[in-house]
A and B are shown apart, each in its own frame.
Chain A
Amino acid sequence: MKISFTSQKKHALSVFVLQLYMLLILSFVLVSSCTVVKPYQKVNLNDSDMKLSAHKTERFETNYQVYREGASGANGGKTGGGCGCN
């Protein structure tokens, strides 16, 4: 059986996935908020790949995404300045 989605259904599905993701994050926060990770236990968290920010060279990709897509922000990149019109 072939399943096809209209764009509206796709969008509804995406919103559902987002809500599920948010719920997951919220659960993590609630479950772990009582747990304190001591500084000496943060070896893995201090790994450079665990940083909660983009890589330095990723800034260029973020810039072009802002130019070529309608959405921007909430990624540590620029939120203004420049026309992005080329």
Chain B
Amino acid sequence: MKYFYSILFIFSSVLSFAQTESQDSSRVYKKKVLEAVEVDFLMSFYSQNGQHSAVGGGVGSEKLKDNTPTLVVNIPLGNDDVLTVDAGISAYSSASSSNVNPFYTLPVKTQSGSTIIVQTGASQTGAANLETSAAVDDVDDDPVSTGPKPIGSPWYASSGASKSDALKSLNVSYAHSSDDRNEIISVNMAVSKEYDYSSLGFGAGYTRLFNQQNTELSIKGSAYLDQWLVIYPTELNEYRLYGDDFLNSGYFNGVEVYDQDMNVTSDAYNPSAFSSMSKTNRNSYTASLSFSQVLSKNLQMSVFMDLILQSGLLSTPYQRVYFKDRPNYYIGQSSDIEYYETTKNNGVYHLADDVERLPDTRFKIPIGLRLNYYFNEIITFRTYYRYYKDDWELEAQTASIEMPIKLSQKFTFYPSYRYYTQTKADYFAPYNTHFSSEQYYTSDYDLSTFNSKSIGFGVSYTDIFTSFKIFRLALKKIDLRYQNYKRSDKLKSNIFSFGFSFVVDK
């Protein structure tokens, strides 16, 4: 609720600011870049499911839900300038993330008949896996030498705090247009925060129009300085805290560890490949160049190119990796070990050999093309193509087409189709197939070879006379969109999004 109030506060602040500004600037008439304050309420509902959880080392549920209320306000400042405030929240729950600590215990009946639930390890707070916490044992890390034994499964969401979070973001940008409207200078600043990750970004751009505004050249630079609050999978965090004796200390004291043959082992599990991350920052630097050209009265195109350099901690520190040349060890119901990679596995979890390790730099070059064609008063074609390559040897291509069909003066229907294909990054291998001798490794299927298809549609309602009003907000447009996404590795998702665009009456 506090996020809602925050957004409301920002909204009311910018509205009052805009009102003052519009009164001041009305003394001398000049055609404005933006005539009135514009407000967009945007929202999306996303859900997905798959079977290659990155936290589970390439095995497990990828069930995820995400809702993203967002507010965008464009405010004219004088005749030439526009201030944009873009604030949003992304509130998600994720089965994959919840399994940073996958262990829990089932409810047990006491002799008196009442039911108790015994939480184990760090699952109650999620904070016990923090890199920075020296006193995690005080939080929730008691041995479970008595009571029911812990179980876990990559196919089920755990009850840990990492199962849900909210990403809060704010982006403020300012654009100034020259008197002849042929030059635009812009700057922006962005911040975002979620539990284990924060980001600070800023950028500046310059746009030049010429050839009677038939040609547009734009250059932009941006930098994001991000910071991880490093969290490790429970078993590796215990190893980090207690060293070689960790099976007799902390969480693992009294917990039975099984080998592949379902035998209880004593001190056999030893993730010696694991060590703490040396960096906690992730920086991204981007130089963007775009060129737009009117080709005829009905055709125009644009070419975009980005040069993106990332450095720092580029791997995700709680994504597990299992080595083929190391024995497997499990906690939970030993009878489920043989079904580990299937959804029949209700209660056993494979203990990690290490976390994902990726190079600390990545250089990406995407080149995109848009070509839009006005076929007639009813139909328009919007096409997009992108070629992408990076120095992790991931190569990808994207093609999409959308065909807006005007059903009436107010309603437009947007069927669309998108195809995407990529080759795997050098460091990807599926569950339990990496070797401990490798320098870099990941089992995150987002970096595997796959293709994906999206099919969807949208409907928009436009009222150029803005006749419907809510207080001072005059409704200009409503957008509804739906996309169904299928990836060749069986990941599926649906997204429903909508937007309400208003103009603020003076």
Interface residues of chain A, those whose CB is within 8 Å of chain B, are 7, 10-11, 14, 18, 21-22, 25, 28-29, 31-33, 35-39, 41-42, 44-45, 47-52, 55-61, 64-65, 67-76, 79-83, 85-86
B224 proximal to A (CB < 8 A) = yes
Q: Is the CB of A22 within 8 A of B395?
A: no
Interface code B272-315, partner A: CB below 8 Å = 1, 0 otherwise?
A: 00000000001011101000111111111111111010100000
Complex Cα distance A59/B44, Å? 10
Q: A36-B214, A47-B380, A86-B97 are in contact. Are A18 and B293 (CB under 8 A)?
A: no
Complex Cα distance A60/B394, Å? 23
User: Among the listed stretches B15-23, B117-125, B172-180, B479-487, which one makes contact with chain A, having 4 or more residues with CB under 8 Å of it?
Assistant: B479-487
Residues of B within 8 A of A79 (CB): 222, 224, 284, 286, 288, 306, 308
Q: A57-B481, A71-B386 are in contact. Are A33 and B396 (CB under 8 A)?
A: no
Complex Cα distance A57/B487, Å? 22
One of B226, B298, B306 near A83 (C-beta < 8 A): B226
Q: Is the CB of B167 within 8 A of A32?
A: no
Residues of B within 8 A of A38 (CB): 212
Complex Cα distance A76/B205, Å? 13
Could you show 29 A-B contacts with beta carbons less than 8 Å apart? A18-B387, A29-B295, A32-B299, A36-B214, A37-B296, A39-B212, A44-B298, A45-B294, A45-B297, A49-B382, A50-B372, A55-B414, A57-B458, A58-B481, A60-B46, A60-B497, A64-B66, A68-B446, A70-B447, A71-B420, A72-B308, A73-B286, A79-B286, A81-B190, A82-B169, A83-B228, A85-B54, A86-B92, A86-B94
Complex Cα distance A74/B302, Å? 11
Taking the closest CB of chain B, its distance from the CB of A64, in whole angstroms, is 6
Q: Is the CB of B64 within 8 A of A86?
A: yes
Complex Cα distance A67/B90, Å? 13
B415 proximal to A (CB < 8 A) = no
One of B382, B394, B412 near A70 (C-beta < 8 A): B394
Complex Cα distance A38/B42, Å? 35
Residues of B within 8 A of A35 (CB): 296
Residues of B within 8 A of A21 (CB): 369, 385
Q: Is the CB of A70 within 8 A of B304?
A: no
Q: Is the CB of A41 within 8 A of B368?
A: no
For the complex of A and B, list the 9 residue pairs with the smallest distance between their C-beta atoms, beginning with the closest: A80-B284, A74-B368, A80-B224, A74-B366, A71-B388, A71-B396, A60-B44, A73-B366, A73-B306
B49 proximal to A (CB < 8 A) = no
Count of chain B residues near A, Cβ 8 A: 106
Complex Cα distance A57/B370, Å? 18
Complex Cα distance A26/B313, Å? 40
B371 proximal to A (CB < 8 A) = yes
Taking the closest CB of chain B, its distance from the CB of A13, in whole angstroms, is 10
Q: A44-B374, A83-B316 are in contact. Are A56 and B42 (CB under 8 A)?
A: yes
Please name the residue on chain B nearest to A44 by beta carbon: B374
Taking the closest CB of chain A, its distance from the CB of B458, in whole angstroms, is 7
Q: A52-B300, A79-B306, A83-B282 are in contact. Are A60 and B68 (CB under 8 A)?
A: yes
Please name the residue on chain A nearest to B306 by beta carbon: A73
Complex Cα distance A19/B447, Å? 25
Taking the closest CB of chain B, its distance from the CB of A27, in whole angstroms, is 10
One of B301, B366, B374 near A28 (C-beta < 8 A): B301
Q: Is the CB of A18 within 8 A of B396?
A: no
Please name the residue on chain A nearest to B454 by beta carbon: A61
B72 proximal to A (CB < 8 A) = yes
Residues of A within 8 A of B299 (CB): 28, 32
One of A52, A71, A83, A86 near B422 (C-beta < 8 A): A71
One of A18, A22, A64 near B493 (C-beta < 8 A): A64
Complex Cα distance A11/B454, Å? 20
Q: Is the CB of B462 within 8 A of A56?
A: no
B361 proximal to A (CB < 8 A) = no
One of B96, B199, B295, B367 near A81 (C-beta < 8 A): B199
B105 proximal to A (CB < 8 A) = no
Residues of B within 8 A of A49 (CB): 372, 380, 382, 404, 412
Residues of A within 8 A of B66 (CB): 64, 86
Q: Is the CB of B213 within 8 A of A39?
A: yes
Q: Is the CB of A75 within 8 A of B384?
A: yes
Complex Cα distance A2/B101, Å? 49
Residues of A within 8 A of B46 (CB): 60, 64
Q: Is the CB of A56 within 8 A of B479?
A: yes
